[in-house]
Amino acid sequence: MSYIDVSGLSFGYTNDSLLFSNITLSFNLGEQVAIIGQNGSGKTTLVKLLNGMLKPQKGRINISGESTSDKSIADIATKIGFVFQNPNQMLFTNTVEKELALSLFRLNIGKKEQDLRINEMLSFFDLEHYRNTHPRNLSRGEKQKLALATVLIQEPQAIVLDEPFSGIDFKQRENLAKYIRILSEEGKLIILITHNIDSILENCSRVIALDEGQITYDLPINDFIMDETSLSKIGLMPTNYLKMLYKLRNIGLPREIYRKKDLIEYFKQNLER
């Protein structure tokens, strides 16, 4: 059974115009899924439907076999966590520790369990020495980690990140990608809403493309890379790195080689022969 099942979903912001019409999708634990598309394609709306911020006009959304139709946003947040593009929108208190405690407020857990989860998050994200720091004094990358920690501390099995790699430098992107990989290896479902094609290649196993509320394609990452028209179909352009992969594929690069570290290793091995 899929962790998230979307069946026959229809939704529109007005009664006479549907953005989504009869959409069907499923997501499995352990997947790293990218949702791509131009602005206005329906990416953010789809996520808001998944996390309960919006309700479908028709169809159903099941999480772990249960319908979300009668669930509150807070209830769904324990199953699907959502990390906003701007971490400042998720930070409300005057210390890092209080931010984490606030996320546990509605969970009705004891003080011992609360302290355990807070310490685990501080350790996992290397934030121990910021325990009593005001979130506004953190760097953008540290705020991003704290925002993710406030979601993860509720122990959802799925996490949605909206443009997680925007506004941070290369080192911070690599650091965030490390945490995403660890969470995926632990069996969590990771969904990225992103325009960063190179980050998709590094972090995702599946790509869903939306265009005007319709699913243009839903492909494994290798099939996405093999099709040189995959981005132009939804009005996006390939990056220089992806263009290079297209050329290398045409002269024999194996289809399973697309991540940068694997490409470097492939060239090293071939140069040593």
Query: What DSSP line would sit under 55-105, residue for residue?
Result: --SEEEEEETTEESTT--HHHHHTTEEEE-SSGGGG--SSSHHHHHHHHTG
43 to each of 215, 225, 271, how far by Cα in Å? 10, 21, 43
- Give CA angle at 95 (192, 105), nearest 5°: 70
Entry pTM: 0.92
| Residue 273 pLDDT > 70 | no
pLDDT at position 17: 86
- Model pLDDT, residue 171: 87
Query: What mean pLDDT is predicted for residues 65-82?
Result: 93
192: DSSP letter: E
pLDDT of residue 145: 94
- Between CA 173 and CA 153 the distance in angstroms is 21
* Average pLDDT score over residue span 4-21: 92
Q: Parse the chain into domains and list their residue ranges.
A: 4-79+156-271
The three-class DSSP label of residue 36 is strand
Cβ proximity of 237 and 231 under 8 Å: yes
- Rounded Cα distance between 95 and 136, Å, is 9
Helices (H) and strands (E) in the chain, counts: 10, 10
pLDDT of residue 87: 94
**Residue range 20-39: mean pLDDT, rounded:** 95
In tens, the pLDDT along 146-204 reads: 999 999 999 999 999 999 988 888 888 888 889 999 999 999 999 999 888 998 999 99
CATH topology for 4-79+156-271 is Rossmann fold (3.40.50)
Two tokens, residue 46: 């789809």
Q: 253-270 b/e with 16+ CB inside 10 Å = b?
A: beeebbeeeebeeeeeee
Rounded mean pLDDT, 234-248: 92
In the predicted structure, residue 37 carries a pLDDT above the cut 70: yes
Q: pLDDT tens across 115-142, in order?
A: 999 999 999 999 999 999 999 999 999 9
- What's CA 92's distance to the chain center, in Å? 22
The token pair that represents 25 in the structure block = 């999708």
For the segment 226-238, the average pLDDT, to the nearest whole number, is: 89
pLDDT of residue 245: 93
